[in-house]
Amino acid sequence: MIEFIGVKKEYNHDVVALNDVNLKIEKGEFAFLVGPSGSGKSTFLKLMIKEEEPTSGKILIDGKDIGKLKNKDIPFLRRKIGFVFQDFRLLYDRDVYENISFALRVIECSEREIQAKVKSALEMVGLSGKEKYYPNQLSGGEQQRVALARALVTKPPIIIADEPTGNLDPTTAGEIFKTLLEINSRGTTILVVTHAKDVVNSLAKRVITLDHGKVVTDEQKGGYKV
Q: Provide the binding-site residues for ligand ADP, judged by CB under 6 A.
A: 11-12, 15, 17, 35, 37-43
Q: Regarding beta strands 2-11 and 81-85, do their DSSP bridges make them parallel or antiparallel, or are they unpaired? A: unpaired
Nearest CB to ligand ADP, comparing residues 41 and 205? 41
As measured in angstroms, the least distance from the Cβ of 165 to ligand ADP is 16
As measured in angstroms, the least distance from the Cβ of 193 to ligand ADP is 7
Q: Residues 61, 4: contact at Cβ < 8 Å?
A: no
Distance CA 207, CA 32 (A): 5
Residue type, 36: P
Residue type, 160: I
Residue 47: CA count within 13 A, CB half-sphere: 28
As measured in angstroms, the least distance from the Cβ of 226 to ligand ADP is 10
Q: Regarding beta strands 15-25 and 81-85, do their DSSP bridges make them parallel or antiparallel, or are they unpaired? A: unpaired
Torsion of CA 172, 96, 164, 128, to 10 degrees: 50
As measured in angstroms, the least distance from the Cβ of 103 to ligand ADP is 25
Q: Is the dihedral of CA 34, 37, 38, 42 positive or negative?
A: positive
Nearest CB to ligand ADP, comparing residues 15 and 181? 15
Distance CA 111, CA 100 (A): 13
As measured in angstroms, the least distance from the Cβ of 40 to ligand ADP is 4
As measured in angstroms, the least distance from the Cβ of 41 to ligand ADP is 4
Nearest CB to ligand ADP, comparing residues 12 and 110? 12
The alpha carbon of 39 is separated from its chain's Cα centroid by a whole number of angstroms, namely 18
Q: Residues 51, 77: contact at Cβ < 8 Å?
A: no
Residue 136, C-beta contacts closer than 8 angstroms, at least 6 positions apart:
92
Say how many Å lie between the first and final Cα of the chain, rounded.
26
As measured in angstroms, the least distance from the Cβ of 42 to ligand ADP is 3
